[in-house]
Amino acid sequence: MIWFRILLVSMFAALLYYTIVTIGISQNGVNLFPDFFGDMAAMEWPGQFNFDFMLMLMLSALWTAWRNNFSVSGLLLAVIAFFGGASFLSMYLLYLTFSEKRNVKAMLVGRTRL
């Protein structure tokens, strides 16, 4: 489990660094939506990647809501999962490794489904 935790922290740190650099050098700053959806509207490979990524974000959000039994907090976490991407998921999974005391089944399905 320690290696998984190291991976999650490393992923979060690398993504945070990349995001900060990108915001700093990008002409759009934090306004990524025109580029993101513009690439999809162009129907070329960058758009295909963005569409694929958006579907993965939807799956992450759906899993987060389901794991939390579609509760109010689960739905709020799902919105954060959709817009937060890997930065949210890496920190959420890290949190779960501690809160579920390294029980992978509880991490994946939640305590109510054990």
pTM reported for the whole predicted model = 0.89
Domain carrying residue 57: 2-113
Structure confidence at residue 100 (pLDDT): 96
Structure confidence at residue 24 (pLDDT): 85
pLDDT digits (tens, 9 = 90+) for 70-95: 999 999 999 999 999 999 999 999 99
Q: How many domains does the chain have?
A: 1
pLDDT digits (tens, 9 = 90+) for 27-64: 767 777 888 899 999 999 999 999 999 999 999 999 99
Give the end-to-end CA distance of the chain in Å, rounded to a whole number: 20
3-state secondary structure of 95: helix
Structure confidence at residue 89 (pLDDT): 97
Spatial separation of the C-alpha atoms in residues 91 and 99, rounded to whole Å: 12
